[in-house]
Amino acid sequence: MINKKKKRVGIFSLTCDEGCSIYLIEIFNKKLFDWLKKMDLVYFLSIRDKREIKNLDIALVEGVVTSEKDKEYLKKIRSNSKILIAMGSCAINTMPSGQRNNFNTKQLGEIKDHLKKYNFLQRALALKEVVKVDNEIIGCPINEKIFIKVFEKYLKI
């Protein structure tokens, strides 16, 4: 049976190097057109300007939650998505993008003005410290095989 209703998918970057989403675009090389039969890519700023965060079936999120702004953005994504998947080690355990969490006093002294000015959180947080996460894909960047396996599981209706 062919399912006619396509999944609405969004890809989101919090604070990070965007290596996971860039690597995901490499995974697209082989997979994109197959997946497009089953999904609409409704939010992905790297390839689309339209940006409505609404009624998502799957949200793929990379990066750490480093600021109040990240936190609000993530909460908004969560409340508009059925499934939220954390992509990569920053989103799962804060490293490497949350490296400031391990800074010594001298390093923290150097960055404190910046943290204050831009409303950074006391420490950078993993996604699951802020919202419910349905699945995680390890790697820096994401492991290709695991990504495909997990993502295709959710793509099936």
Partner 1 sequence: MHNNDLDINISKLSKIEGHTDLDIKIRNNKVEDVGLHVMENMRFFNQAVCGQSYSNAPQLVSRICGTCSIAHLTACIEAIEKALEIKPSEQTMILRKLTMYSMMIRDHALHLYFFVLPDIFNIDSALDMPKEKMNLIHEALHIKEAGNNLSNLIAGRAVHALFEQVGGFSNEIDKTKIPAIIKELKRIRSYVIKLAEIFYNCKWEFKRKTNFVALTTSDFSFLEGKIKSTNGAIIEEKDYWNHLHNVVLPYSQASGFEFEGSEYMVGALARLNLNKDALHSNTKKDMEKYLNVFPSDNVYHNNLAQVIEIMHSIDHSIELLEKLDFKKEAIVKPTKLSGEGVGVIEAARGTLYYWIGINEGKVRYANLVIPTAQNLINMRSDVRNIVSDICNDKVLIKKLENKIRKEVEKIIRAYDPCMSCAAHFLKINWK
Residues that bind partner 1 (CB under 8 A): 13, 15-23, 25-26, 28-30, 32-33, 36, 41, 45-51, 66-67, 69, 96-97, 99-100, 103, 107, 110-111, 113-114, 118, 140-141
The one-letter amino acid code at 143 reads: N
Please state at what angle helix 144-155 crosses helix 19-35, rounded to 10 degrees: 50
User: Smallest gap, in angstroms, from Cβ of residue 21 to partner 1?
Assistant: 7
Number of neighbouring beta carbons within 10 Å of residue 113: 9
User: Smallest gap, in angstroms, from Cβ of residue 74 to partner 1?
Assistant: 14
Q: Which is nearer to partner 1, 4 or 116 (CB)?
A: 116
C-beta separation of 58 from 83 below 8 A: yes
Residue 68: phi and psi, rounded to 5, are: -60, -35
Q: Which is nearer to partner 1, 63 or 151 (CB)?
A: 63
User: Smallest gap, in angstroms, from Cβ of residue 50 to partner 1?
Assistant: 5
User: Smallest gap, in angstroms, from Cβ of residue 1 to partner 1?
Assistant: 26
Residue in the block written with tokens 């604070």? 15
User: Smallest gap, in angstroms, from Cβ of residue 125 to partner 1?
Assistant: 14
Q: Which is nearer to partner 1, 43 or 154 (CB)?
A: 43
The sign of the dihedral angle between the CA atoms of 50, 153, 63, 83 is: positive
Q: Which is nearer to partner 1, 23 or 154 (CB)?
A: 23
- Triad 49, 51, 57: Cα angle to 5°: 125
C-beta separation of 127 from 133 below 8 A: yes
Q: Which is nearer to partner 1, 36 or 157 (CB)?
A: 36
